[in-house]
């Protein structure tokens, strides 16, 4: 009987360990569902081709005319205009499928209403990257990417979708400028997010490009300085 009790305890420990290390898919789906119906806000950052609202707790590290690098609770994520999808929708009537290649842990298709009550479809995918994961969000206006650990996925998923809902784009300006370019380099931000190195101590931040002009958001919700145009 003593050995039976020991065996049961060991099995419980193993099962608990498996549960703790498992990917939080249900929590992520719940976070996305909440983000789909949360309140929207008018933009507080404006650029040439788009504008967006950045919620308290999310810092802006850098930005340019087509993309940004943000930070949420120490996790960097990028947001870029999905220029190819905007052009495809305008001239060919369909959204660019996009996406990345890899071992998919989850992929979820949903929809939301933006600040102008216009409906948009989106796809949120999570790809296995060893001890970490690559998050890939995209809709017909923007796409986002992040590299993080399992525990941060639900929060980042919610933050990404909330940010996307508060985006406004200038379709006319985008089509006028980018429709005639032979090549659209809209993947640059995602590639620039991670340096091609191996971390010495296994810390995610060692893989990310450093941005000297960045500080974490203050407790009052104010965001970090940026070198981009506003």
**Helix, strand, coil shares of the chain as percentages rounded to 5?**
35, 30, 40
Q: Tell me the percentage of the chain whose pLDDT exceeds 90.
A: 49
Please give the average per-residue pLDDT across 216-228, as a whole number: 44
pLDDT in tens, 111-135: 999 999 999 999 999 999 888 999 9
Return phi, psi of residue 192, to 5°.
-75, -15
Opening angle at CA 22, ends 18 and 23, nearest 5: 175
> Could you tell me if 145 and 161 are in contact, meaning their C-beta atoms sit under 8 angstroms apart?
no
Please give the average per-residue pLDDT across 26-46, as a whole number: 94
> What's 76-87 look like in SS3?
EEEEEECHHHHH
Residue 59, pLDDT > 70, answer: yes
Q: How far apart are CA 105 and CA 125, in angstroms?
A: 8
Q: Where are the domains of the chain?
A: 23-207
> Could you tell me if 102 and 86 are in contact, meaning their C-beta atoms sit under 8 angstroms apart?
no
pLDDT in tens, 161-209: 999 999 999 999 999 888 765 444 444 444 445 443 333 443 334 444 4
Opening angle at CA 159, ends 111 and 109, nearest 5: 25
Distances (CA, A) of 222 to 12, 47, 165, 205, 215: 46, 19, 20, 23, 11
Residue 222 CA to its chain's centroid (Å): 20
Return phi, psi of residue 30, to 5°.
-65, -40
- As a whole number, the mean pLDDT across the chain is 76
> Could you tell me if 66 and 186 are in contact, meaning their C-beta atoms sit under 8 angstroms apart?
yes
Residue 108, pLDDT > 70, answer: yes
DSSP class of residue 90 equals H
- In the CATH hierarchy, which fold is given to the domain comprising 23-207? Protein Transport Mog1p; Chain A (3.40.1000)
pLDDT for res 89: 84
Strand, helix or coil for residue 217 = coil
């Amino acid at each position: 009987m003593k050995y039976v009790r020991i065996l049961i305890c060991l099995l419980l420990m193993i099962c608990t360990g498996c549960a703790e290390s498992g990917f939080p898919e249900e929590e992520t789906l719940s976070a996305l569902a909440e983000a789909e119906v949360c309140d929207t806000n008018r933009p507080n950052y404006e650029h040439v081709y788009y504008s967006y609202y950045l919620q308290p707790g999310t810092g802006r590290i850098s930005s340019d005319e087509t993309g940004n690098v943000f930070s949420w609770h120490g996790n960097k994520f990028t947001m870029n205009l999905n220029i190819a999808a905007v052009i495809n929708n305008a001239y060919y009537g369909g959204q660019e499928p996009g996406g990345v290649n890899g071992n998919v842990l989850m992929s979820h298709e949903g929809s939301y209403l933006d600040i102008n009550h216009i409906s948009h479809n989106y796809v949120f995918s999570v790809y296995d990257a060893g001890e970490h994961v690559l998050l890939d969000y995209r809709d017909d206006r923007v796409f986002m990417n992040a590299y993080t650990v399992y525990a941060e996925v639900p929060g980042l998923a919610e933050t990404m979708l909330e940010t996307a809902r508060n985006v406004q784009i200038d379709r006319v300006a985008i089509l006028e400028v980018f429709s005639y370019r032979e090549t659209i380099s809209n993947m640059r931000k995602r590639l620039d997010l991670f340096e091609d190195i191996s971390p010495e101590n296994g810390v995610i931040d060692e893989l990310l490009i450093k941005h000297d002009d960045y500080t974490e958001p203050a407790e009052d919700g104010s965001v970090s300085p940026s070198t981009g145009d506003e």
